[in-house]
């Protein structure tokens, strides 16, 4: 039975004094008291780049649709609608300012396709949102 770091959920070996994943010092890591350790995180939370739940267990990240973001990028990427939708207002304004040259439309098309090809977990981790 393996221990898990209470900070990041990474696996610990008996006798570890520092978490190999996050570097957190493990006070009093006694292999005989493993039954009192925090249970492992669910499999979905062990993905690279995952941040532990917010204090109090409330996940207050905005909910966004991956499909809507991808379609906005493909169809309206030239004026940055997908950036506004994702909460990147500065980038959206930049797309609007350079819409006359057509480059944002090409970039928006590529970004829209990339959004649709990402897994839900990748999308959530990259943009800090929850997928609807």
User: pTM for this structure?
Assistant: 0.57
Mean pLDDT of the chain: 80
**Can you state the angle between helices 66-76 and 103-117, rounded to 10 degrees?**
160
- Residue 128 pLDDT grade (very low, low, confident, very high; cuts 50, 70, 90): confident
Top pLDDT among 129 and 106 is at 106
Copy the structure tokens of residue 44: 């979905």
Half-sphere exposure in the Cβ direction for 43 (13 Å, CA): 0
Q: By the 8 A CB rule, do 40 and 1 touch?
A: no
Highest mean pLDDT among 10-24, 29-43, 97-111: 97-111
- Residue 74 pLDDT grade (very low, low, confident, very high; cuts 50, 70, 90): very high
Q: Identify the weakest region by mean pLDDT among 16-30, 82-96, 104-118.
A: 16-30
Domain ranges for the chain, please list them: 1-53, 63-131
Kind and range of the H or E element at 63?
strand 63-64
Copy the structure tokens of residue 125: 């981790």
Q: What average pLDDT does the segment 85-105 reach?
A: 95
**Can you state the angle between helices 89-97 and 103-117, rounded to 10 degrees?**
140
**Chain centroid to CA 75:** 25
Quick count: other Cβ atoms within 10 Å of Cβ 56? 7
């Amino acid at each position: 039975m393996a221990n898990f770091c209470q900070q990041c959920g990474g696996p610990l070996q008996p006798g570890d004094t520092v978490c190999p994943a996050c570097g957190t010092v493990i006070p009093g890591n006694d292999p005989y008291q493993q039954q009192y350790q925090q249970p492992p995180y669910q499999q979905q939370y062990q993905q690279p780049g995952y941040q532990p739940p917010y204090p109090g267990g409330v996940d207050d990240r905005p909910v966004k649709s991956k499909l809507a973001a991808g379609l906005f990028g493909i169809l309206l990427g030239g004026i940055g609608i997908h950036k506004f939708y994702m909460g990147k207002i500065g980038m959206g304004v930049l797309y609007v300012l350079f819409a006359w040259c057509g480059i944002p439309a090409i970039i928006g098309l590529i970004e829209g396709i990339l959004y649709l090809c990402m897994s839900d977990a990748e999308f959530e981790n990259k943009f800090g949102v929850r997928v609807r």
